[in-house]
Each structure stands twice: as structure tokens, then as C-alpha cells.
Amino acid sequence: MFELAIKKLKEAQKIVFVTGAGISQESGIPTFRGKDGLWRNYDAMKLATIDAFYENPKLVWEWYNERRKNIFSAKPNLGHKAIAELENFVKVVILTQNIDGLHQRAGSTKVLELHGSIIEIKCTVCKFKNKILTEFTNIPPLCKCGNILRPNVVWFGEPLPQDTWQEAMIHSSNCDIMIIVGTSLVVSPANTLPLYAKQNNAFLIELNPEETMMSSDMDLSVRSTSVIALPQLLSIFK
């Protein structure tokens, strides 16, 4: 299977990566699940909802401010850099569930942020949207229209941005290889992307230290971390 994977990689015209929290965890960014998924005795998965935001917007904003500081202090790891360097050899598209921007900081040029970006804000009522340029003195911050601003991220129970999702489905449906990195594939609808690729006879590769609920659907599952496996994958093209 490794020999077949190498052959497929060398022949590929387009590789799509689906990345999750695991690749960023290796840069020191905590994941939602497990022991790192707690913050000040709150369940992060419960904080990341629109109901939690309206119930206590100050708390949610404080949580995101802390997350943003952690993200800004993190640096792209060897996994991020390997994916970026791969663009020198083949067309690469990244469909990421991460909101940290580390793929872009590593040099990747085609990144679709399925769950939004932590460095952006939007109004809860009007269409205002912008990058966060400075820290806000008043929490929660208000829009010029007088309503509360929120992080421009997709919370649990919210739909993905439809234009981004439509583009992600198209890329998944016309790639030669899809490489799934650092995601447990339990969050919908992002976990359906490998199915679109499979329907187009794409070769599916999973890079994850642990087995996932879709491991049996993969053509190749590699039990390794991204900082180890992705530079090795890149070496195939050199």
C-alpha cells in the first residue's frame, strides 16, 4: 500500500488536505476535546455556541481573547511548512477546520477556512465584518450600529459559510488525492469531505496518531503525527 501511495502521489495533479486541531496542537494550540478542552472550569464545547454568547458575551469574548493570544504566540510547525512547500511540486488546496491562520503563516496560498477565523469579527445584526486590528478596551465590543460584535467563527449548531462550503465540495470532488491530517472526523459537515473525494475515486490518506471513525474508509492510514509524517511525504517529491 505504501508503494501504491507513493505512485499515486507522484502522479497527482491536485492534492487536497483536510486539516483539524491535531496539526495545530503540535504548535502548542490546545484542542477542544480532552484535557486541553477546558478553560477556567468551563467546557469549551459549551462556550462555543450562540446561546452561550448571548447568555454571557463578556465571558465568551474573554475566552476568545485568551485563545487569540495563544494562537499569536504559536508558530507554524514542520507539518504546516511541509504542506506549504508542497505547492512547489503540485497543486495544493487546504480545507481546514482550524481558525488559527497557521497554514497561511506557513506560506500556503490556497486555504479555505471552513469554520472562520479567530482574527476576524462580525456584527451580530448588520453585515459589518473586519479583521481585529487592536484589542478592545470594552468587552464585549460594539459595532457602529450599536449591536454586539462577535468573533467571525462558526460555533456549534451554526451552518458553515455557504460560499466556502460549496468551494470545498468542488475541490474535494475533483482532487486526485485527499490527505486528512489531525482531525477525528466527528464534526459535520466537514467529515463528509472525504466522501466527496471517494466518489471521484480519489486516493484517501489519513495521518493521525489515533484511529478515527473513518479510518476503515481510507486507502492508507498512517499512525503518526503531522510533524513527522508530512516532511516524509514532502521528501517523495524531492
184 known ligand binder? yes
Instruction: Check the annotation: does 201 bind a ligand.
Output: no
Give catalytic status of residue 171 as yes or no: no
Quote the strand ranges of the chain, DSSP E. Answer: 14-19, 38-39, 42-43, 91-96, 111-113, 116-123, 129-131, 149-153, 177-181, 203-207, 220-222
Tell me whether residue 172 is annotated as binding: no
Three-state SS annotation for 108-163: CCCEEECCEEEEEEEECCCCCEEECCCCCCCCCCECCCCCEEEEEECCCCCCCCHH
Contacts of 43 (CB under 8 A, 6+ apart): 37
Is 28 within any annotated ligand binding site? no
Q: Is residue 182 annotated as involved in ligand binding?
A: yes
Q: Say whether 97 counts as a known binding-site residue.
A: yes
Helix and strand numbers (H, E) in the chain are: 10, 11
**Options 80, 103, 115, 171, the catalytic residue:** 115
Alpha-carbon span 85 to 15, nearest angstrom: 13
* Residue 124 counted as an annotated binding residue: no
DSSP character for 202? P
Give the three-state DSSP class for 66. helix
Cβ proximity of 66 and 9 under 8 Å: no
Is 175 among the annotated ligand-binding positions?
Answer: no
Distance between CA atoms of 72 and 51, rounded to whole angstroms?
A: 27
219 assigned binding-site residue: no
64 labelled binding-site residue:
yes
231 labeled binding residue? no
C-alpha 167/C-alpha 151 separation (Å) is: 22
**Residues within the annotated binding site for NAD(+)?**
97-100, 182-184, 208-210, 226
**Residues within the annotated binding site for Zn(2+)?**
123, 126, 143, 145
**Residues within the annotated binding site for substrate?**
64, 67
Active site residues: 115
**Residues within the annotated binding site?**
64, 67, 97-100, 123, 126, 143, 145, 182-184, 208-210, 226
